[in-house]
Amino acid sequence: MEQSAAELTRQSEHLQASAGGTVRISVMEWPAAFLARHLRAARDAGLAIELVASERTESFARREADIAVRHGLPLTGTFITRKVGIIRSAIYASRDYAESHQEAFTEARYQACSWVLFTEEQAHYKSMRWQEERLAPLTPTLRVTDTHLVRDAIRGHAGLGLLPCFIGDTDQHLVRVTSPIEELAAEYWMIIPPETEQFPYLRKAIDWVSKSFHTERHVLQG
């Protein structure tokens, strides 16, 4: 985030010139999965989008993307920031697992049910700490590396797991066993170099990200 706005803008010009108007968006896993569902609308608007799933803020600082979507605001640098929305999450089970484990619907779920969590390398995530605290001293039945694998493992009756509501609520194979967990509600922000908006393709992309989050805000918040 230490590069100047002018440098970011020059790289944006380079990317557009070399990619024929392609807009590269660096975005974290959950909003990446959400925006991927809206790529048809981007195409219909005449946009060519590259979604780069990344949590590395330095990728944006190195001018490897035109726009970033992040959980939280940048600590350094001069950027335009726009809050795009809140993504809430809840605990889910497969329908068969929930039917045979009624404790999944009670606070006993943390000690009485099997669980699918991320790997220990992701233990720094707030959601991971929240789950680990409730499961202790037990360990999860299965650990995986990303949200789609969590969903697939839950579908396969491996146990309970945390999913963003826009994924869990729209999966007919899953049932939500808790309300959205307020303390895990995550605000997401669009981070934009100050001079970016003068470029038509980038303005369109900014509007597409904002509109996608706004029109689906009830789905995102569960």
Question: What average pLDDT does range 1-24 have in this prediction?
Answer: 50
Domain of residue 132: give its range. 89-184
- Residues 42 and 63 both lie in one domain: yes
Per-residue pLDDT, 120: 86
Distance CA 193, CA 81 (A): 9
Per-residue pLDDT, 57: 58
- Residues 173 and 111 both lie in one domain: yes
- Residues 97 and 165 both lie in one domain: yes
- Inform me whether the pLDDT recorded for 14 exceeds 50: no
- Residues 158 and 80 both lie in one domain: no
Tens-place pLDDT, residues 35-84: 999 999 999 888 999 998 887 655 555 667 888 999 877 766 678 889 99
| Residue 137: exposure state from Cβ atoms within 10 A (0-12, 13-18, ≥19) | exposed
- Structural domains in the chain (count): 2
- Residues 153 and 114 both lie in one domain: yes
Question: What average pLDDT does range 144-151 have in this prediction?
Answer: 94
Per-residue pLDDT, 155: 97
**47 to each of 37, 85, 89, how far by Cα in Å?**
15, 22, 30
- Residues 137 and 174 both lie in one domain: yes
- Residues 116 and 173 both lie in one domain: yes
Per-residue pLDDT, 21: 76
Read off the amino acid at residue 178.
T
Which CATH number characterizes residue 213's domain? 3.40.190.10
- Residues 131 and 21 both lie in one domain: no
Per-residue pLDDT, 6: 41
- Residues 117 and 52 both lie in one domain: no
Tens-place pLDDT, residues 171-221: 999 999 999 999 999 999 998 887 776 778 888 899 999 999 999 999 999
Distance CA 131, CA 59 (A): 29
Residue 137: cis peptide before it, omega within 30 degrees of 0? yes
- Residues 80 and 147 both lie in one domain: no
- Residues 80 and 162 both lie in one domain: no
Model confidence at 18, in pLDDT bands (50, 70, 90)? very low
DSSP string, 109-128: HHHHS-BEEE-GGGTTSHHH
Q: What is the pTM of this model?
A: 0.83
Question: What average pLDDT does range 161-168 have in this prediction?
Answer: 97
Tens-place pLDDT, residues 95-143: 999 999 999 999 999 999 999 999 988 888 899 999 999 999 999 999 9
- Residues 82 and 162 both lie in one domain: no
Per-residue pLDDT, 78: 75
